[in-house]
Structure 1
Amino acid sequence: MSPGRASPRSGHAASQSSCRRRGGTTALATTITSADTALAAQPPLTSTSFAAHLDLAKGQQPENLTLLPGGAAAVTFAFPRQVAVIERTGTVRVLAMLPAPSSDARTPVLGSPFLGGIVQGHDHTLYFLYATGTDDLTDVWRLRLGGSPERIAALPADTLPNGLALDGSTRQLYAADSVLGRIWRIPATGGTPEVWATVSALAPAGFLGANGVKVHDGAVWVSNLDHGTLMRIPVLRDGTPGATRTAATGLTGVDDFASTGRGDQLLAALNAGSEVALVSGNGGHTVVLNHTDGLQNPTSIAVRGDTVYVADAAYVTQQDPNLLTTRLHCPSSR
């Protein structure tokens, strides 16, 4: 989530100059079918394509996404409280709607019920976060194939759980709390959440702090929207957090991010500016996508192989929420 709504060690790292360039528009034979093409991106990305234009009138503003087998993407529509799938054809299919809270619910900062981060487990179970400002519905939820949403852990009513990550090796979920400035850890099997990390670098400075979160290369990586920073928090042998290191600064309005599969190189969604930045392992960054490529306040990024997916919520522009795809010149080894 980002402003504007009122109411990685790798043995496969390579330099950009050594990349083999690919011309033309994105070819998505095994992923979502492109609907039309936008303008050219900047290296190491090729030109972007729209995978889907979403319906603003129905509240189809994707807050977060996770990639499914076969090329579809599961997304959360934050304010209609919906978990949906964007099919390879661009068709939207709603999987579940979360229950509405009581009329006196007041979600911290946002005011309205908010459906946040979503991830997929190895068995294709979806996990996602819901915040309402009430004790009975501010929770971690899961959705099994063919099933109905289930609450698996309760979070305090004064929290705003936003980004969500899953460590597949330990089956622990990590949730970024944008209001209290902390990282919660929750067993994927369900149970009592614990405050895993709480440091000043995660705190907000007027709006939202800790936002996106990923598990990568033995560490939990977290963005701070208000500070425009990315942090790396090592996971020690006993599961506790190590010392927090600021990995990048100057990322104004940073929301979600994703590893490119090349060392500590990341792609970060800069929501308010409608940009995507390529963040290098030394913390520098370059804008590689912007509004001329069709970006409308990007909120979430995912990478599979050499294909990059960007979800645009249009929270500020209120024009064209969409799902974009583009390709990396240097595909990851995954």
Structure 2
Amino acid sequence: MFRLPRLATTATVAVAAFTLLVPAAASAGEPTLTDPRTVANFSFDAGETPENIALEPDGSANLTLAHARQVVRIDGHGTHRLLAVLPSVPNPNTPGIGSAVVTGIVRAKNGTLYVNYATGTNATGIWRIGPHGGTPVQIAQLPADSLPNGLALDEKRGVFYVADSARGLVWRVPLKGGTATIWAAGSALQPIGAGVGYEAGANGIKLHGDAVWVSNTDRRTLLRIPVRRDGTAGTIETRATGLDGIDDFAFTGKDDTVLAALITYSTIAQVRPNGTHTVVLTTPDGLSNPTAVALHDKTVYVTNASYFAVPPNPNLLTAHLDNGKD
């Protein structure tokens, strides 16, 4: 989640997409994505850069529009509904970005939405939005020099997990709000400055199989952190490498197969439980610097922020997931 400089990097990235991504070949019987289509378009000039997704039971998509500081809902017909606008802050100074941005989003079972807001001020943290929208309320504050990016909610334990891209760690925050504590840290979560014009460590984050999974953009890795019985973090495990530009991701089912957004190269990769991966969607399918993936039944949703595409094409794309059992 970063507004990248266009400069000469666009051409470099276009070449890199073909030279760096050399995925393993697809195997027979693996899930495939078909029928990709753009269901909603946004205005890059207005800051409407789709960053993250939380789905409603009916398949409507709640999206954060990072630089517009907005949360919108897109229904099955592509109709936009504005739910909330995060408050403007004076002199924002978000690490690596400068401007204030709304990033990760999750939905509680009762329909309440929670988002990360990164500002470089005391407004940085988790904000709550009612099921039908309204005025956002800050429920937890994070340090001004943090960049809260991915957000995960464990309602059973009553906690949030926040991936901090600037500090390179995972925060844990009570569901009711309050004090954030460092839950997981270490070099595997930290940035190394290997990105294009920015540094990004821990980025996307999901709960799956009694563990917290985290992507590290700079290190091109997908990590698994077991949650111990007492709620503390276990040893960080590297489950996949070589995922150039990995941002957010989603699991396709009960096993550890992942669909990952590779933002820099405008691709979606299917990452197998053994760590190998196959590219399953690319720019011709409608991708434009994808940032997040979500799944509802057999429909895959992808947000495309189009941070350094020329011309920009921010959009929400869907595709059909075929696991061979349809």
* Common topology (TM > 0.5): yes
Tell whether 2:76 aligns with 1:82: no
**1:262 Cα offset (Å):** 4.4
**1:327 Cα offset (Å):** 1.2
Tell whether 2:126 aligns with 1:140: yes
1:257 counterpart residue number = 249
Aligned equivalents of 1:331, 1:101: Cα separation in 2: 49
Indicate if the aligned counterparts of 1:4 and 1:272 stay in contact, CA closer than 8 A: no
Superposition misfits of 4+ residues, deviation over 3 angstroms: 15-19
Alpha carbons of 1:323 and 1:266: their partners in 2 closer, same or farther (altered >3 Å)? same
2:164 counterpart residue number = 177
Aligned equivalents of 2:246, 2:98: Cα separation in 1: 21
Aligned equivalents of 1:256, 1:320: Cα separation in 2: 19
**1:88 Cα offset (Å):** 1.6
Aligned equivalents of 2:248, 2:218: Cα separation in 1: 13
Q: Map residues 71-220 of structure 1 onto 2, 5 A cutoff.
A: 71-102=59-90, 104-135=91-122, 137-146=123-132, 147-206=134-193, 207-220=199-212
Identity of aligned residues (%): 49
SS in 1 for 2:218: coil
Aligned equivalents of 1:101, 1:2: Cα separation in 2: 19
Q: Work out which of the residue numbers 279, 285, 289 in structure 2 matches 1:287.
A: 279
Indicate if the aligned counterparts of 2:155 and 2:175 stay in contact, CA closer than 8 A: no
Q: How many residues align?
A: 301
* One-letter code aligned to 2:273: G
SS in 1 for 2:306: coil
Runs of at least 5 residues in structure 2 that lack an aligned partner in the other structure: 8-25, 194-198
Is the deviation greater in 151-160 or in 88-97?
88-97
Aligned equivalents of 2:111, 2:324: Cα separation in 1: 24
2:323 counterpart residue number = 330
* One-letter code aligned to 2:162: A
**1:172 Cα offset (Å):** 1.1
Indicate if the aligned counterparts of 2:59 and 2:296 stay in contact, CA closer than 8 A: no
Indicate if the aligned counterparts of 1:305 and 1:332 stay in contact, CA closer than 8 A: no
SS in 2 for 1:115: strand
Alpha carbons of 1:139 and 1:69: their partners in 2 closer, same or farther (altered >3 Å)? same
SS in 2 for 1:201: helix
**1:56 Cα offset (Å):** 2.3
Post-superposition Cα deviations, 1:221-249, rounded to whole Å, max 9, x if no partner, equal 00001111000000000000001000100
Tell whether 2:23 aligns with 1:4: no
* One-letter code aligned to 1:50: T
Aligned equivalents of 1:118, 1:63: Cα separation in 2: 9
Alpha carbons of 1:165 and 1:285: their partners in 2 closer, same or farther (altered >3 Å)? same
1:227 counterpart residue number = 219
Runs of at least 5 residues in structure 1 that lack an aligned partner in the other structure: 8-14, 20-42
**1:106 Cα offset (Å):** 1.0
1:61 counterpart residue number = 49
Aligned equivalents of 2:57, 2:273: Cα separation in 1: 29
Alpha carbons of 1:226 and 1:66: their partners in 2 closer, same or farther (altered >3 Å)? same
Post-superposition Cα deviations, 1:126-181, rounded to whole Å, max 9, x if no partner, equal 0100011112x111101112442111101111100000011132121100000111
Indicate if the aligned counterparts of 2:29 and 2:324 stay in contact, CA closer than 8 A: no
2:28 counterpart residue number = 17
Post-superposition Cα deviations, 1:287-323, rounded to whole Å, max 9, x if no partner, equal 0000010100000100112111011010010521111
Aligned equivalents of 1:304, 1:91: Cα separation in 2: 18
Aligned equivalents of 2:222, 2:88: Cα separation in 1: 33
